[in-house]
Amino acid sequence: MKNCDSCYSAHSSTNEMYDYTREMGVTTIFDRWEDQQPQCGFGMQGICCQLCSHGPCRITNKADRTICGATADTVVARNLLRLTVHGAAAYSHHLEEVAKTLKATAEGKTPYKIGDKKKLRTIAEIVGLDTDRSDNEIALDLADVILSEMRKGSDDPLALLKLFAPKSRQDRWEKLDVVPGGILSEIRDALTKSMSNIDTDPVDLLLTSVRLGIATGYMGLVATLTLEDIMLGSPKITESEADLGIIDPETVNIVAHGHVPLVATAVIESSQDPELQKLAKDAGAKGIKVYGSMCTGQELMQRKATSAKEFAGQLSNWLSQEYYIATGAIDLVMMDMNCSIPGLKVMADNFHTELVSVDKVVRMEGVEDRYDYEPEKIKQQAKEMIKKAIETYKKRGDKIKIPSYKKDVITGFGVESITEALGGSLDPLLEQVKNGNIRGIAAVVGCTNNRNGHDTKGLKIMKEFLKNDILVISAGCMSSAAEIEGLTSKEALSECGEGLKAVCEAVGIPPVLNFGSCLDIGRIGVIVTEIASALGVDPAELPVVASAPEYLEQKAVADGIFAVSFGLLTHLGPVPPVTGSETVTDILTRDIQEMTGGRFLVNEDPVDAVSEMIAHIENKRSALGI
Ligand code: XCC
């Protein structure tokens, strides 16, 4: 273990808990990070191929080809495609769960209701459904439309793209021949291509990533969040709290951890059941509370923050997951799809905490309790989980340590809630962009990564943007970073340049607008589409940039490729594993701009990276004549 107090995270709460786990002698993420140093240079550059049993092969000074004759360009592009396909697959799983749930809900078989009837009817009309019927009839058909869009062939272009993507984007994508078909078929094709010696052309491999990125954007992101909004309600501007200090030592505490908010929503509803409340009180607790972690938490923050008192706010993000268990005050963790690390179980074994899997794809050694989500059974499953949490609460020890830190948060932003706050149109926002009070918009999104210190780089980037009058939209683990730092509250106005500060004060919003989970990067695509259409330009012409300053896993790769395909300058940190190929690096950071209007910017220095992004924003402003 490294002998270093409080040096890993930007957050005092995480640092405090890290020191505490070290005193306990329990190894956590920051220690395992040290154990892995130095990391493999071949892997870092993407030039290791492990696909066949001639390998592993590496591209070295002495070997410029693998045993089968593949170049560094092929190996790097193929490895990148394999990352993208993983991300696309995970998003499709999420979409399928949500679409099936909407269908079951329309049939009256779930505890969910149609939460946004207006959106249901608007979307149904766009996709050409007869809306002169009941909500449930429309919802049933809409779920079927999405499921069949998912499952159709890769040679059958996505109808949703035609309906929702800007026309100028579609033209570019058609020219490049990257208009995707059904996402499941696209995943199959991409996996087939990325087997050894099927597709060895680096350019085609990269274009396949672009195709998957676009399929992910319109199916995995936009379709999923739209169905979720229809069912669970669209985000509304609201207040909540974040950081480990929100944990109440006197309640039965359940954490919703992952990305898919369906189980958590049902558990929050069921926790209001008087019979379960009584059971909790009989066990000696004051009540039952549900906390959000990572992206599931952000989804709840967008929708449940004020509507259910049983929802207590957002704990933290990926890198803090072991530390909330180390508080000793968490009784049950519901792991839905992705980002539940095996280290959770190691930590849980030191406490009374129970981990349960709530999705058929989530499996962890030593976790036997499964409540794999089924829309038709979720009401019962939710009750059983709450009872389990109450039983576990009874075993809670007195080893409790809850850091005192917590922050107020304003959350619930999305195109509809912003439009409403602005009095019914985005025009006032556009006016502020045009008059230069707001110079541009930066989406700071995605994961958190220890490579540059937990949230340290992401927060530095956000603050640099704010200082320069650039409005920040956050999503994913970057939203937790911003919340815990106070950037999603009005206290962050002190970080802003004069123009941005004046606008935020006038509208009553914080300068970092939380759009939700990593799925909600799609929501950013929606608002950028609306702004582009209001101004009559293509998204690539807008003073808008994206940054995933601490990207971590494969969904973020698919997101990043979508952003570049969508025409945005997209900053990535840590350096992705592509530098072993000059060709691939040049295409992604330079030449792709000719094709999509967007490109990747790789710069490890946050201040430098922001300067480059600001220069891009200013160029776009000049080109628009604003
Ligand atoms: Fe996982 Fe979404 Fe990444 Fe955070 S942001 S590390 S995916 S929880 Ni999506």
Mean of the pLDDT values across residues 262-272?
A: 97
Query: Is the pLDDT confidence value at 3 over 50?
Result: no
Mean of the pLDDT values across residues 381-405?
A: 97
What pLDDT sits at residue 553? 96
How much distance in Å is there from the Cα of 339 to the middle of ligand 1?
7
CB atoms within 10 A of CB 233: 18
Place of tokens 């330009």: 537
Pick from 193, 260, 258: nearest CA to 220: 260
Query: Is the pLDDT confidence value at 163 over 80?
Result: yes
Q: Do 309 and 326 meet the contact criterion of CB atoms below 8 Å apart?
A: no
What pLDDT sits at residue 614? 98
Ligand 1 pocket test, pick from 84, 447, 480, 514 with the greatest ligand atom count within 8 Å of Cβ, gives 447
Place of tokens 């911003």: 482
Q: Tell the residue nearest (CA) to atom 5 of ligand 1.
A: 447
Cα–Cα dist 585/73, whole Å: 9
Q: Do 416 and 242 meet the contact criterion of CB atoms below 8 Å apart?
A: no
Q: Measured from the CA of 518, which atom of ligand 1 is nearest?
A: 9
φ, ψ of residue 425 to 5 degrees: the values are -155, 155
- Spell out the domain ranges in the chain: 72-232, 244-393, 411-624
Ligand 1 pocket test, pick from 86, 316, 518 with the greatest ligand atom count within 8 Å of Cβ, gives 518
Mean of the pLDDT values across residues 221-229?
A: 98
How much distance in Å is there from the Cα of 149 to the middle of ligand 1?
26
How much distance in Å is there from the Cα of 113 to the middle of ligand 1?
27
Q: How many residues does the chain have?
A: 626
Residue 506, strand partner residues: none
- The helix (H) or strand (E) run that includes residue 333 is strand 332-335
Type of residue found at 314: Q
What pLDDT sits at residue 4? 46
What pLDDT sits at residue 304? 84
Cα–Cα dist 496/504, whole Å: 9
Domain 72-232 and domain 411-624, same fold? Reply is no
Report the b/e string of 177-207 with b at 16+ CB within 10 A: ebbbbbbbbbbebbbebbebeebbebeebbb
Contacts of 371 (CB under 8 A, 6+ apart): 263, 334, 356, 357, 358, 381, 384, 385
Confidence band, pLDDT 50/70/90 cuts, at residue 407: very high
What are the start-end ranges of the E strands in 480-588?
Answer: 512-514, 544-548, 569-572
Contacts of 607 (CB under 8 A, 6+ apart): 460, 464
Cα–Cα dist 73/203, whole Å: 9
Cα–Cα dist 482/608, whole Å: 20
Over residues 72-88, the pLDDT tens digits come to: 999 999 999 999 999 99
Over residues 170-207, the pLDDT tens digits come to: 999 999 999 999 999 999 999 999 999 999 999 999 99
Confidence band, pLDDT 50/70/90 cuts, at residue 494: very high
Q: Tell the residue nearest (CA) to atom 6 of ligand 1.
A: 447
Q: Measured from the CA of 298, which atom of ligand 1 is nearest?
A: 2
How much distance in Å is there from the Cα of 262 to the middle of ligand 1?
17
What pLDDT sits at residue 1? 43
Cα–Cα dist 68/196, whole Å: 9
Over residues 520-551, the pLDDT tens digits come to: 999 999 999 999 999 999 999 999 999 999 99
How much distance in Å is there from the Cα of 519 to the middle of ligand 1?
9
Pick from 25, 75, 35: nearest CA to 55: 75
Pick from 215, 216, 194: nearest CA to 205: 194
Q: Measured from the CA of 294, which atom of ligand 1 is nearest?
A: 8
What pLDDT sits at residue 305? 78
Confidence band, pLDDT 50/70/90 cuts, at residue 513: very high
Q: Do 582 and 590 meet the contact criterion of CB atoms below 8 Å apart?
A: no
Query: Is the pLDDT confidence value at 6 over 90?
Result: no
The pTM of the full predicted model, rounded to 2 decimals, is 0.97
Cα–Cα dist 243/234, whole Å: 24
CB atoms within 10 A of CB 493: 16
Over residues 459-488, the pLDDT tens digits come to: 999 999 999 999 999 999 999 999 999 999
How much distance in Å is there from the Cα of 326 to the middle of ligand 1?
21
Q: Measured from the CA of 258, which atom of ligand 1 is nearest?
A: 8
Q: Do 353 and 42 meet the contact criterion of CB atoms below 8 Å apart?
A: no
φ, ψ of residue 341 to 5 degrees: the values are -90, 150
Ligand 1 pocket test, pick from 477, 519, 557, 562 with the greatest ligand atom count within 8 Å of Cβ, gives 477
Mean of the pLDDT values across residues 349-372?
A: 97
DSSP 245: G
Cα–Cα dist 60/626, whole Å: 50
Q: Tell the residue nearest (CA) to atom 3 of ligand 1.
A: 447
What pLDDT sits at residue 452? 83
Cα–Cα dist 426/421, whole Å: 9
Confidence band, pLDDT 50/70/90 cuts, at residue 8: confident
Query: Is the pLDDT confidence value at 5 over 60?
Result: no
Contacts of 243 (CB under 8 A, 6+ apart): 11, 13, 314, 315, 316, 403, 405, 406, 407, 483, 484
3-state secondary structure of 13: helix
How much distance in Å is there from the Cα of 122 to the middle of ligand 1?
30
- Looking at every residue in the chain, the average pLDDT score rounds to 96
Q: Could you confirm whether domain 244-393 is CATH 3.40.50.620?
A: no
Cα–Cα dist 228/234, whole Å: 8
Contacts of 393 (CB under 8 A, 6+ apart): 252, 253, 280, 283, 284, 285, 331
Q: Measured from the CA of 445, which atom of ligand 1 is nearest?
A: 5
Mean of the pLDDT values across residues 223-251?
A: 97
How much distance in Å is there from the Cα of 551 to the middle of ligand 1?
8
Q: Measured from the CA of 559, which atom of ligand 1 is nearest?
A: 9
How much distance in Å is there from the Cα of 175 to the middle of ligand 1?
33
Q: Tell the residue nearest (CA) to atom 2 of ligand 1.
A: 295
Type of residue found at 61: N
Query: Is the pLDDT confidence value at 44 over 60?
Result: yes
Give the CA radius of gyration of the chain: 24
Mean of the pLDDT values across residues 100-115?
A: 97
Q: Measured from the CA of 519, which atom of ligand 1 is nearest?
A: 9
User: Which pair of tokens denotes residue 129?
Assistant: 């459904």
How much distance in Å is there from the Cα of 212 to the middle of ligand 1?
19
Architecture per CATH, domain 411-624, reads as 3-Layer(aba) Sandwich (3.40)
What pLDDT sits at residue 7? 59
Q: Tell the residue nearest (CA) to atom 1 of ligand 1.
A: 339
Contacts of 148 (CB under 8 A, 6+ apart): none
Query: Is the pLDDT confidence value at 306 over 80?
Result: no
Q: What CATH code is assigned to 72-232?
A: 1.20.1270.30
How much distance in Å is there from the Cα of 63 to the middle of ligand 1?
37
Confidence band, pLDDT 50/70/90 cuts, at residue 613: very high
Q: Which residues does a 6 A CB cutoff place in the pocket of ligand 1? A: 259, 294-295, 317-318, 339, 446-447, 476-477, 517-518, 552-553, 555-556
Mean of the pLDDT values across residues 248-275?
A: 97
3-state secondary structure 209-259: HHHHHHHHHHHHHHHHHHHHHHHHCCCCCEEEEECHHHCCCCCEEEEEEEC
How much distance in Å is there from the Cα of 55 to the middle of ligand 1?
31
User: Which pair of tokens denotes residue 424?
Assistant: 């019914």
Q: Do 560 and 80 meet the contact criterion of CB atoms below 8 Å apart?
A: no
Q: Tell the residue nearest (CA) to atom 9 of ligand 1.
A: 518
What value, to the nearest 5°, has the Cα angle with vertex 391 and ends 388 and 395? 130
How much distance in Å is there from the Cα of 79 to the middle of ligand 1?
20
How much distance in Å is there from the Cα of 125 to the middle of ligand 1?
33
Ligand 1 pocket test, pick from 550, 555, 559, 562 with the greatest ligand atom count within 8 Å of Cβ, gives 555
Q: Do 615 and 601 meet the contact criterion of CB atoms below 8 Å apart?
A: no
Q: Do 210 and 176 meet the contact criterion of CB atoms below 8 Å apart?
A: yes
Q: Do 256 and 288 meet the contact criterion of CB atoms below 8 Å apart?
A: no
Query: In this structure, are strands 544-548 and 332-335 parallel, antiparallel, or unpaired?
Result: unpaired
